[in-house]
Structure formats: C-alpha cells, structure tokens
C-alpha cells in the first residue's frame, strides 16, 4: 500500500498505487532482501475507479522489477 502524505496535517493521506506515493519501495525491497526475507508480498489497493485489474497488474509488474 502506498499513499501521499497531505501538506495540511488535518487532512487524511491519499491512497495511490505502489510506487506513486511516499513509500520508498526500492529501499523497502532492498531491506527485505538484506534480512533474507523470501516470503510473500501482498498488494493492497482499495481504489475502484477505472480498470482496477489493469492497475493491479501495473503495480505487480513494478514490484517484480524491484524484486528481480
């Protein structure tokens, strides 16, 4: 799951697809590799507008590229 932190503290975070928000996924995946994690990674993306399956496929491809 990824999100953009609001510039005004009172507002909620805005959910975005993995790789488009504030989470540093390259560093996150690198850390998982460094500690020897080889388990599952799940994608959580709750937005439903547009072609959700296409967006999930895009996120999956992005993460697979980082995992190698």
**CB neighbour class for 18 (10 Å; exposed up to 12, middle 13-18, buried from 19):** buried
Q: What angle do CA 24, 29, 32 make, to 5 degrees?
A: 125
Q: How far is residue 23's CA from residue 3's CA, in Å, rounded to a whole number?
A: 7
- Specify the pTM: 0.81
26: pLDDT strictly greater than 90: yes
Q: How confident is the model at residue 8 (pLDDT cuts 50, 70, 90)?
A: confident
């Amino acid at each position: 799951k990824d999100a953009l932190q609001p510039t005004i503290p009172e507002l909620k975070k805005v959910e975005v697809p993995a790789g488009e928000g504030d989470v540093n996924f390259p560093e996150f995946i690198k850390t998982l590799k460094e500690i020897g994690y080889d388990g599952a990674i799940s994608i959580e993306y709750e937005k439903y507008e547009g072609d959700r399956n296409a967006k999930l496929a895009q996120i999956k491809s992005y993460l697979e590229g980082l995992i190698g």
